[in-house]
Amino acid sequence: MERALVTGCNGFVGRALLGRLTGAGYEVWGVDRSDADPAFKGKRYVRGDLMDAAFVADMLNEAMPACVVHLAAQSSVAKSFDEPAPTLRDGTAPALHILEHARTSKSGMRVLLIGSADEYGAVSPAQIPVREDTLAQPESPYALAKAIQNQYGRMYAKLYRVDAVMTRSFNHTGPGQREAFVLSSFAKQVAEIRRGLREAEIEVGNLDVCRDFMDVRDVCDAYVVLLMKGRMGETYNVCSGQSYRVGDLLRELCALAGTHVAIRVDVSRLRPVETPELRGDPSKMSSHTGWKAKTPIQETLKALLDYWDGELGRA
Ligand code: A2R
């Protein structure tokens, strides 16, 4: 049984990925800087800060994984504008420590570095759907950190034959996502309205942006398939190839919940720079690995709504 080590395992994607990796036959070790999430009960869990190179080296020497899925990062674009320095540090140094260990130990482990569609920055309509060879022009500290991480991976693969594979993952959502993320925030508010816990009014940012949203389960499947079939040194768009207007998804959530809501724009939710549409071209991913996003968006929205309904019911 091959061992996979997941960094940032307590987070939204880490918790969803655990079952997908186990289902694919991996023995999973998790690492994060807080106490283990209950999902990791019975699994090998290491607590520590990946900013610490010695910690990373010791952990990898002990785990000797066949592969690492590097999820750990400060994952909020909005927060990155307020906290650029920690975002840049957290988004780059841990990847470098992992790659350095792979280089010096010659372990041959595969390192899957999770990047972001935000690396592309403000793409023009003519560049949509965005391909991997589009010039990355990051427009947030978060995106810049991810672009640097991507270049580390590319460079280590080229110079040292470290088996690094990089993603540029487009928007994904699902049960367990924090409400700092747009669809999760909407779903929570709609669930609260349905339960009579708040006025029938929703606070929103920009409803006109269009994004390539996927279900987190599909994204986790993409990561598992990239561990097996991704090519060294390559970057892959993990995307559906379809984009949805955020306002339309809000309407869909309201329809699913059977609620009518008023909409109030909260200026604190508006970003300094906002790309009108970000939709990826998934053809490289599908031709190299066979993966395709398959979950209908309505199913994802329903799962998100049910999740928040359950959380509110428990509160
Ligand atoms: O920030 P915390 O304390 O919540 O911990 C986060 C953890 N993490 C770290 N763990 C160890 N050492 C570090 N230096 C370090 N920095 C961050 O990674 C958190 O538990 C986890 C990230 O989880 P989420 O914020 O829920 O991110 P999510 O949505 O699971 O995204 C996974 C990846 C990220 O690289 C995103 O930028 C990308 O997918 O979209």
pTM over 0.85: yes
Residues touching ligand 1 (Cβ under 6 Å) are 8, 10-14, 32-34, 49-51, 71-73, 75, 90, 94, 114, 116, 169
Instruction: Tell me, in angstroms, the distance from the centre of ligand 1 to residue 27's CA.
Output: 21
pLDDT computed for residue 273 by the predictor: 63
Give whole-number Cα distances, 164 to 69, 136, 202, 313, in Å. Answer: 10, 19, 42, 43
303 is written with which tokens?
Answer: 């799962």
Give ∠ CA 73-10-30 in degrees, rounded to 5.
Answer: 95
Q: How far is ligand 1, taken at its centre, from the CA of residue 259, in Å?
A: 33
Say how many Å lie between the CA of residue 22 and the centre of ligand 1: 20
* Atom 35 of ligand 1, nearest CA residue: 71
CA 183 to ligand 1 center in whole angstroms:
19
Give backbone dihedrals phi and psi of 33, rounded to 5 degrees, phi first: -100, 0
Residue 220 alpha carbon to ligand 1 centre in Å = 15
CA distance 24 to 17: 11
Residues of the chain with pLDDT under 50: none
Residue by residue, DSSP assigns 214-250 as EEHHHHHHHHHHHHHHPPTT-EEEE--S--EEHHHHH
Distance between Cα 74 and ligand 1 center (Å): 5
pLDDT of residue 192: 95
| CA neighbor of 280 nearest in space, from 188, 214, 195, 226 | 214
Query: Cα separations (Å) of 41 from 30, 221, 259?
Result: 11, 22, 38
- Residue of 32, 146, 169 with the most ligand 1 atoms within 8 Å of its CB, for mutation: 32
Q: Atom 32, ligand 1: which residue's CA is nearest?
A: 71
Distance, in Å, from the CA atom of 181 to the CA atom of 184, rounded to the nearest integer, reads 6
Best residue among 5, 15, 33, 40 to mutate for probing ligand 1, ranked by most atoms within 8 Å of CB: 33
Q: Note the pLDDT of residue 272.
A: 63
